[in-house]
Amino acid sequence: GGDTRLKALLQLMAAAEAGRDVAYFTFGDLALMRDVHELHTFLTDKQVSVGKLYGLLKQYFNVVVRTSHSQRPDVILYGFIYEQISSDPPPEPMAASSPLPDGH
């Protein structure tokens, strides 16, 4: 039981934090497989950190789940994540006068 999309996201976060690959079995649930793959690709392309994602999970719980009057919130978790990341301004580019240390 439980929310399979949340469980998949938590597995991806744990694997990313541990620096490991993950094999997530969806047991024939093609929609789940597609959704997890698409979210993973989106998060990777946007270079979203595990910390940022954790913050979004907390925000989703506080803003959506706590205020929901039913067991199923009106806003779906993955949709919330897509919306929040898509509305974030792009990160500031590093200044050319601040080179990365070269170890010397």
Which sign, positive or negative, has the C-alpha torsion 92, 95, 96, 100?
negative
Low-confidence ranges of the chain (pLDDT < 50): 94-104
Percent of the chain having pLDDT more than 90?
Answer: 62
3-state secondary structure of 14: helix
pLDDT tens digits, 19-44: 999 888 889 999 999 999 999 999 99
> H/E/C letters for each residue in 18-45?
HCCCCCCCCCCCHHHHHHHHHHHHHHHH
Domain edges within the chain: 4-68+75-85
Q: Which two tokens stand for residue 76?
A: 């779906």
The torsion angles phi and psi of 39, rounded to 5 degrees, stand at: -65, -45
